[in-house]
Amino acid sequence: MRLINTRTFELTQFDNPASIPPYAILSHTWSEDRDGEVTFQQFTTLSHETLAQGASKQGFTKIQQTCRLARERDLGWAWVDTCCIDKTSSAELTEAINSMWRWYVGAEVCFAFLADLELEGKTVVIEAQDEKTKGGTLRMAASVGVVTGLGRCRWFTRGWTLQELIVPRRLEFYNKDWEFCGEKSSMRMVLSRITSIRPEVFRRTNLVPTLSVAERMSWAATRQTRHTEDTAYCLLGIFGVNMPLLYGEGEKAFARLQEEIIKESNDMSLFAWRMTPEQSARQTHWGIFAPSPREFAECDGIDALVDPMHRNECAITSKGLRVTPVPGGLQGVASRL
């Protein structure tokens, strides 16, 4: 893992996970103008004075502000994906993407920069009903403008930011002017309404592996990625699987993801996806695997098959998928298959 020294702006490589110091991490969306971001090569060729004083690229501001916020929390190190990963190295990129979940878990704090969020109104305390706590009330500190504008932010539409929303122990939101807008722990109900993710997930990351494959897939149903393959790659951490990256394989990446999930889990909800009426009208026959997360849009209420007495054995063979069902093992998803 490569980290930025928040005071000197030097990059340092930490090969031993045990030696990684406390660090802050940035979550953001890349600018539409990809040239506005700072690459690893650009960052390493600039002088420390230039980095500290600022430069014309928007990406420099993100790095500077991330380091500033980290220093304010007495954190000497920070991680920003644009300049901490050498994306010209396919091996390094593969390792980074397969490690992303762990890196966000390990961060002391994550700063979510919402480039299209304008702060309006004063900070208020909102009381919202929490159905998951039997009618209890959550007190959420957030600006009025944040509550109304948060859901329109591009950050909530991108595939890569899904795990960056769920994983961090502490997640703070900042608007386009780098003004603090609230944090995940006090905005669970607001975030749940925006994302359709149950609010307790934002409090307990360890809950994620216990939820059904179908429910986790539904979180990504409306999210988009720049590359088709990233639709699968951005979900590796959410399903606890690893696989090599093959940019150029297109939709095959999502099929490979489902194959890897089958190897790790016998949760049959993976097959509970449904085509839209428009898709069904265009094509009458489909394979066993879903073409994309979109087909899981209505699967947020499906439970995982966790009863050890009703586990079905699945395996990928040279002829396709082999399923050895146990009587009763398809209960809960049979109506969706």
For residues 150 and 90, is the Cβ–Cβ distance under 8 A? no
Tell which residue, 84, 80, 103, 99, has the closest CA to residue 40.
84
- The share of the chain scoring above pLDDT 90, in percent, equals 63
Q: How far apart are CA 322 and CA 313, in angstroms?
A: 8
Q: How far apart are CA 172 and CA 184, in angstroms?
A: 6
Distances (CA, A) of 135 to 41, 129, 132, 138: 53, 6, 7, 10
Distances (CA, A) of 101 to 49, 246, 255: 33, 19, 21
Torsion angles phi and psi, residue 271, rounded to 5: -100, 15
- Segment 252-257 shows an average pLDDT of 97
Look up the pTM and report it: 0.84
- Torsion over CA: 133, 134, 139, 143 (sign): positive
pLDDT at res. 58: 78
Is the pLDDT at 284 greater than 90? The verdict is: no
Q: How far apart are CA 209 and CA 131, in angstroms?
A: 22
Q: Mean pLDDT score of the chain, rounded to an integer?
A: 84
Q: How far apart are CA 292 and CA 255, in angstroms?
A: 8
pLDDT at res. 15: 92
CB atoms within 10 A of CB 222: 13
For residues 139 and 126, is the Cβ–Cβ distance under 8 A? yes
For residues 253 and 233, is the Cβ–Cβ distance under 8 A? yes
Is the pLDDT at 291 greater than 70? The verdict is: yes
> Residue 326 contacts by C-beta under 8 Å, 6 or more apart in sequence?
309, 310, 311, 312
**Location of structure tokens 């095959």:** 252
Length of the chain: 337
Tell which residue, 270, 232, 275, has the closest CA to residue 251.
232
pLDDT at res. 202: 96
pLDDT at res. 310: 52
Q: Kindly report, residue by residue over 74-102, the tens digit of the pLDDT.
A: 999 999 999 999 999 999 999 999 999 99
- H-assigned helices in 80-143: 81-84, 90-106
Confidence tier at 52 by pLDDT (50, 70, 90): low
pLDDT at res. 129: 42
| Structure tokens that stand for 273 in this block | 């996806």
Q: Kindly report, residue by residue over 103-132, the tens digit of the pLDDT.
A: 999 999 999 999 999 865 444 334 344 444
> Residue 121 contacts by C-beta under 8 Å, 6 or more apart in sequence?
143, 144, 145
Domain ranges across the chain? 2-113, 123-205, 211-336
Tell which residue, 276, 277, 307, has the closest CA to residue 293.
276
Could you give the angle at the alpha carbon of 157 between the alpha carbons of 245 and 88, nearest 5°?
30
Q: How far apart are CA 21 and CA 276, in angstroms?
A: 48
